């Protein structure tokens, strides 16, 4: 099974004022690895403004993304964890502690990533560990351990 | 029968929903056509069941079939229970 996240695609225990700041932080990780063009980050924010906060997929968890043609170079995923959480304005799911940003080059290349991500997020104990991880290595170890169990 | 998973752009959260629905259908031995689409496309589609997150519910009035609203897209129990409740009425 593919690795879901590497330590350089993760930043733990960050602080942010609002959801736009969180989008920019998670998007910056994709930008630094040259997976996206800068305009993709704005597109992720616009997608929320246009369609609503449906990107908060579960209590405490957000998944930012835009369309392939809005500046994706390569498929990838990043994660920011938020110290104390950030309110996204979704009453029963606030605050958000885990903010993922997804770049998908086409309609299928990210399916394996999403499938792995689903398995991880369906496990409440793992989600708690991800929220609490104090550094990038601890977080990635939690993810890899979970995925290893899934493939057994 | 056709089931569609709906999200804003049709490739992030709807794709995760689609995977969860697929798991439920397989586990229950139910055969159905399953697609993930964006909200705009869903409005013009002819499906039996639309599954979407509660933040998109306001769009559901334009859908032609039954609508299932999911609170937590990672909660397979919620998805299974709500889906089976609708399917068992068919």
Domain ranges in chain B are 2-87
| Tens digits of residue pLDDT in A33-71 | 999 999 999 999 999 999 889 999 999 999 999 999 999
**Catalytic pick from A24, A65, A110, A146?**
A65
SS3 B4: strand
Q: Taking residues A16-30, what's their average pLDDT? A: 98
Q: How confident is the model at residue B29 (pLDDT cuts 50, 70, 90)?
A: very high
Residue A132 or residue B11, greater confidence: A132
Q: Answer whether A112's CB lies under 8 Å from A87's CB.
A: no
What's the rounded Cα separation, in Å, for the pair A100 and A106? 18
Q: What is the mean pLDDT of chain A?
A: 94
Lowest mean pLDDT segment, chosen from A15-29, A59-73, B12-26: B12-26
pLDDT value of position B90:
66
pLDDT value of position A134:
97
pLDDT value of position B10:
85
What's the rounded Cα separation, in Å, for the pair A59 and A69? 29
3-state secondary structure chain A: CCCCCCHHHEEEEECCCCHHHHHHHHHHHHHHCCCECCHHHHHHHHHHHHHCCCCEEECCEEEEECCHHHCECCCEEEEEEEEEEECCCCCCCCCEEEEEEEECCCCCCCHHHHHHHHHHHCCHHHHHHHHHCCCHHHHHHHHHHHHHHHHC
Residue A23 or residue B90, greater confidence: A23
pLDDT value of position A1:
40
ipTM: 0.87
Q: Which of A52, A61, A107 sits opposite B74 (nearest CB)?
A: A61
Alpha carbon dihedral A6, A134, A143, A45, in 10-degree steps, equals -70
Q: Does domain B2-87 have CATH number 3.90.180.10?
A: no
What's the rounded Cα separation, in Å, for the pair B12 and B39? 12
pLDDT value of position A150:
85
Q: Taking residues B45-67, what's their average pLDDT? A: 91
Checking DSSP bridges between strand A56-58 and strand A61-65, what pairing results, if any?
antiparallel
Q: Residue B12 pLDDT more than 90?
A: no
Query: Looking at the complex, does the CB of residue A49 fall below 8 Å from at least one CB of chain B?
Result: no
What DSSP string describes B36-70? EEEHHHHHT---SEEEEEGGGGGGGGG-SSEEEEE
Does the active-site annotation cover A65? Answer: yes
**% chain A with pLDDT above 90:** 89
Lowest mean pLDDT segment, chosen from A58-62, A129-133, B15-19: B15-19
CB contact under 8 Å between B8 and A111, yes or no, is no
| Tens digits of residue pLDDT in A107-117 | 888 988 999 99
Q: Taking residues B6-20, what's their average pLDDT? A: 90
Q: Taking residues B54-79, what's their average pLDDT? A: 92
> Min CA distance, A124 vs chain B (Å)?
10
What's the rounded Cα separation, in Å, for the pair A100 and B32? 31
Domains of chain A: 7-151 (3.40.930.10)
Query: Looking at the complex, does the CB of residue B53 fall below 8 Å from at least one CB of chain A?
Result: yes
């Amino acid at each position: 099974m593919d690795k879901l996240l590497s330590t350089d695609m993760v930043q733990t225990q960050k602080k942010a004022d609002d959801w736009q700041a969180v989008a920019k932080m998670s998007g910056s990780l994709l930008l630094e690895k040259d997976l996206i063009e800068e305009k993709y980050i704005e597109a992720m924010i616009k997608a929320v403004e246009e369609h609503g906060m449906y990107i908060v997929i579960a209590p405490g968890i957000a998944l930012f993304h835009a369309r392939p043609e809005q500046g994706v170079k390569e498929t990838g995923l990043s994660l920011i964890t938020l110290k104390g959480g950030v309110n996204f304005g979704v009453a029963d799911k606030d605050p958000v502690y885990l903010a993922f940003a997804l770049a998908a080059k086409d309609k299928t290349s990210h399916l394996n990533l999403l499938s792995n991500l689903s398995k991880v997020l369906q496990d409440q104990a793992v989600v708690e560990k991800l929220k609490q991880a104090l550094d990038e290595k601890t977080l990635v170890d939690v993810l890899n351990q979970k995925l290893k169990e899934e493939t057994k | 029968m056709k089931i569609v998973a709906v999200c804003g752009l049709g490739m992030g959260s709807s794709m995760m929903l689609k995977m969860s629905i697929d798991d439920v259908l397989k586990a229950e031995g139910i055969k159905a056509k399953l697609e993930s689409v964006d909200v705009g496309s869903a409005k013009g589609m002819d499906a039996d069941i639309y599954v979407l997150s509660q933040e998109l519910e306001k769009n559901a009035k334009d859908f032609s079939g039954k609508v299932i609203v999911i609170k937590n897209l990672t909660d397979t129990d919620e998805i299974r229970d709500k889906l089976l409740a609708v399917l068992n009425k068919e």
